Amino acid sequence: MKAAAVYPDTKSLGVVADFPEPKIESPTGVKLRVLNVGVCGTDREIASFLYGTPPAGSEYLVIGHECLGEVVEAGPEAGAVKPGDLVIPMVRRPCDHPDCIACRAGRQDFCYTGDYRERGIMKMHGFMTELVVDDVRYMNPVPAGIREVAVLVEPLTIAEKALIQVKQIQGRLPWRKHSALVLGAGPVGLLGAMTLALDGFEVTVYSKDREPNASADIVKAIGGKYISALDRSIDQMAAEMGAIDLVYEATGSSQLAFDVLPVLGPNGVFVLTGVPGKHGPQPFDKDDVMRKMVLRNQCLFGTVNAGKDAFEHAVTDLTGFYAKWPEAVRGLITGRFSIDNFAQPIQNQKGIKNIIEIGK
């Protein structure tokens, strides 16, 4: 069967024509027919050979980690999951260290050792192929009603894991504060904006492009405000917003993130989700940052990957977004490609979210 792969040794991309068909080998195994696979910045990094590692002994890595599949076969102990069900597989698999309490507790998204594996990214083949087999514990059922957009669940889990943590931190305040700034209007930023809007935050999205543009239209459709960085400086944007209670960073630009940190409001929370490239040391005013953070009780944290709880929230929230803002949610998916053309949206990013359509 076909599989979309990157070859780090020869720095090339290609479709493997005879990728072996997987078999269920454990009673809790399930086999999926892959329907859609989303492409993201991580895939672009992998395809630029800056990130990603093939499985031991393989000259290539099959990519794809944002997957929607349909169950075609289930092992005798796969529980309630049965053929015909739609599922989203999780990306990360636990490390083997007996003393990694996170991985031993099924929370490999908080792995201590760094020896986790990730499908389509780190030492394990991914989902950009026709059939995949995996353990039922990594499967997250999705209702058939959101099939058209369900490939957005995995990127949405980034925002959901962030929001779970934001709620825990904001729980230190005996009141609720609502003003959120999202940096970046790509898929992670827009899905973050939707998550926050549905949760009752007043959302402003700050991004490069001037209006009119498709991302700005989506922000407005969900009741948010869009501000172009070409029209307003960070200080002007902050003055317009008033006290900022939450910043959700989704650009991967450390420059932008640390330029915005000084305008975070009292008791504010700043979440980093982007993974920047390495651009060497940059000067920044450490005294000012530390002073403000202490005197304003602020919290800055990074977040990666997601646990079962975030996947469950993502399925519930995507269903909610789709009911409330169907056009905006559909509008996130701007390009559809066949597996033969998988390299196109990776090498030449256009639009918001591009997906590879494999099964129907």
Residue 43's nearest CA partner among 109, 100, 106, 127 is 127
Residues β-bridged to residue 15: 4
Residue 272's nearest CA partner among 290, 251, 292, 291 is 251
Confirm or reject binding of residue 133 to ligand BGC (CB under 6 A): no
Confirm or reject binding of residue 121 to ligand BGC (CB under 6 A): yes
Least gap, CB of 56 to Zn ion (angstroms): 23
- Whether the Cβ atoms of residue 353 and residue 187 lie closer than 8 Å to each other: yes
Decide which of Zn ion, ligand BGC, none touches 161; Cβ closer than 5 to 8 Å per partner kind: none
Bridging pattern class, strands 92-93 and 117-119: antiparallel
Residue labelled with tokens 């403000």 = 292
Give the total residue count for the chain: 360
Least gap, CB of 278 to Zn ion (angstroms): 20
Number of residues that bind ligand BGC (CB under 6 A): 10
Alpha-carbon dihedral sign for residues 50, 55, 61, 66: negative
Count of C-beta atoms within a 10 Å radius of residue 97: 16
- Whether the Cβ atoms of residue 228 and residue 234 lie closer than 8 Å to each other: no
Least gap, CB of 359 to ligand BGC (angstroms): 21
Least gap, CB of 65 to Zn ion (angstroms): 6
| CB closer to ligand BGC, 73 vs 135 | 135
Task: For the segment 88-117, give every residue that binds ligand BGC (CB under 6 A).
Answer: 91-92
Task: For the segment 259-318, give every residue that binds ligand BGC (CB under 6 A).
Answer: 304-305
| CB closer to ligand BGC, 55 vs 223 | 55
Task: For the segment 29-58, give every residue that binds Zn ion (CB under 5 A).
Answer: 40, 42
Phi, psi of 55 (to 5 degrees): -60, 155
Phi, psi of 10 (to 5 degrees): -100, 5
| CB closer to Zn ion, 245 vs 317 | 317
Binding mask 39-78 for ligand BGC (x = CB under 6 A): -x-x----------------------x-------------
The two tokens of residue 322 are 């789709």
Distance CA 31, CA 186 (A): 32
| CB closer to ligand BGC, 107 vs 225 | 107
- Whether the Cβ atoms of residue 109 and residue 40 lie closer than 8 Å to each other: no
| CB closer to Zn ion, 46 vs 193 | 46
Q: Quick check: helix, strand or coil at residue 312?
A: helix
Distance CA 135, CA 25 (A): 10
Residue 73's nearest CA partner among 151, 12, 133, 163 is 133
Confirm or reject binding of residue 332 to Zn ion (CB under 5 A): no
| CB closer to ligand BGC, 161 vs 241 | 161
Least gap, CB of 30 to ligand BGC (angstroms): 20
| CB closer to ligand BGC, 53 vs 319 | 53
Number of residues that bind Zn ion (CB under 5 A): 2
Decide which of Zn ion, ligand BGC, none touches 92; Cβ closer than 5 to 8 Å per partner kind: ligand BGC
| CB closer to ligand BGC, 126 vs 331 | 126
Distance CA 116, CA 100 (A): 10
| Interface contacts to Zn ion, rule CB under 5 A | 40, 42
Q: Interface with ligand BGC by CB under 6 A: which residues? A: 40, 42, 65, 91-92, 118, 121, 154, 304-305
